[in-house]
Structure formats: structure tokens, C-alpha cells
Structure 1
């Protein structure tokens, strides 16, 4: 059904995207005839998501800064620019990979666009590789919010309004 976000089995090559990832999940939304490429889909998710996610991100940045973790806009230059706080690592019209490495964990998001109208769909896959106790603790703390955040962000792909 168009606009319905559902959890799906991840289909990315995890070893190619983030070897050793301990966490991976994927969500898909059917967008029908809506025309987007992977960058546009990711931009709609990240920059046009619900405002409450922006508030959660600001809170996260305040809470993690004393631990020396990266916050919005920090880190090495991104080869393909930034979308929100996510450095774009690689992209084609059909797939965009964004994320960063930090002292506690490495994170990737893969946005895939597939199919033709009227059965076009976007899949967002999240991969995480933790490095230490702080990374495992951080991952455990954000998991209750992760699925809700991703579902809400993906709902904005077909209708990018706030």
C-alpha cells in the first residue's frame, strides 16, 4: 500500500557497506508513481521529517557531547556533501550510502530506490558496528527510538511536508 512503511529483511551487502556490522535493519515504503532518486529520498527523510525528530536530535547532541561523541556537522569532510548531519559516502541515482565512523561505533544508512511507477519503492537500511562498551550502551539506549524515528522519517518520502 502506498505510503505505508514496513520493516523488511535487509537486502544490502552488509560486508561491502560496513564489514562486521552487529546491527542491521531495513524499512520500505511504497511511493507509487512519485519520482525520486536516492539523494532526494534521503533528503526528504532527513530534512523534511517530523519536527519532533529535530528536537530528539538536539537532545542527543547535548547528551553525547560530554562523552566526546560526534554531533551534527562534525567529522571528516564528506566526499559527496552532507544531508543533514549525515556525510554522504557514495551515491548513484538508485542508492545513497551515508554515515560516519566514531570512537564508539560506526554507522551507515543505505537508501535504495527501486521499481517503476506505479510500484516504485524506497528502502532505508541501517547498519551499526560498535567498538566498545560505550558503543554498545549507546546502541541499546537509542534502539527504543530507532524504529519509530525511521518509520516517521520514511513517511515523508512520498509527501515531503512538515
Structure 2
């Protein structure tokens, strides 16, 4: 059965679910975005792959620029796996924990740690709500400067990728 695209959907900023806050104690930044999908039979990994595995070309260009810049500061580059179904990753993000309704992605570095949580909630017999929550914990001035510089891009990327997530071929 082919999966439906949610390309016409808009993502909306929502409050971070307080139960997720313990996934990164001491976080210094959080946000969450939500979209209602057209399916009710997805699991969290499928939804995360739809969001993160096939970013638009401009996102890939921004990530290449980011990776080049952060390389000068000794920070980790976000490298995309060539295997789209690699069991330990979704897109460039390592899987930390997973259940059918929720997947936790994230990495730790010397400047900051981050977690991305994709959560599914059934809204009816035929639809699901997909929420992506970001938590970031900065460790030092480099982390705070980095976070400040990427936040405008993060907000745009989070909303765009969630809203355009093509659920076909997941």
C-alpha cells in the first residue's frame, strides 16, 4: 500500500510535552512542531525517515556549508548514511531509543548535546499527529554561539521538513 504525501500540510509550533524534558536534563533550548498526517498506520521510524531522509536540495547545501564551517572548530559534521534503511540511524541522526509511537534521535558533542523526538498520536481511525520536538543543551560559549547562529535556520528547517515530509516510499 503506497503511503500518502502530506506536502500540502502546514506544521504548527506547539508547546513541548513536559514528559519529554527529562530526555535531556538541563536543556537550554526546546521547541516542537506538529502536523496532522493522512495515515494512521505509521510507526515512529517511518515518520522520522519521511521527515529526515530526503531533505530538499537547499537543505543539503546548507548542511554542506555548515559542515565545512564547523570543521574549522573541530565539531562533528552531520554525515548522511548512504543506506536509507540503516538500523542505527535516521538521516544524519543516530537513534538513541525507539518505540512504535516515538523515536529519540540525538548526539553529544563537546559544545552541545541535542535530542530530536518524533512522536505519533492517533487523532482518528485514519489520521495521526506527528510532532517533532528538539531539545538542546549547550556546554560552553562555543555551544551558545553555535545555537544562536543556527536557530533561524533550525526553525525554518524544522517546519519545512515536517510539512513537506513525503510519506511515499518510506
TM-score (ref. length: structure 2): 0.84
How many residues align? The count is 156
Q: Which structure 2 residues correspond to residues 41-120 of structure 1 after superposition, within 5 A?
A: 41-73=47-79, 81-115=88-122, 116-120=124-128
Q: 1:30 aligns with which of 27, 36, 55?
A: 36
Map of 1:144 onto structure 2:
152
Q: CA deviation at 1:120?
A: 1.2
Large movers: runs of 4+ above 4 Å = 158-161
Deviations 1:117-154 (A, max 9, x none): 33411000000000000000000000111111001110
Q: CA deviation at 1:160?
A: 4.9
Deviations 1:13-70 (A, max 9, x none): 2442100001000000001335321111111111122221111111110000111101
Q: Is the 8 A contact 1:31 1:121 kept in 2?
A: yes
Q: CA deviation at 1:72?
A: 2.3
**2:147, 2:161 → 1: CA distance?**
19
Runs of 5+ consecutive residues of structure 1 not aligned to the other structure? 75-79
Q: Do the aligned partners of residues 12 and 85 (structure 1) sit closer, same or farther apart at CA in structure 2, a change above 3 Å counting?
A: farther
**1:20, 1:44 → 2: CA distance?**
29
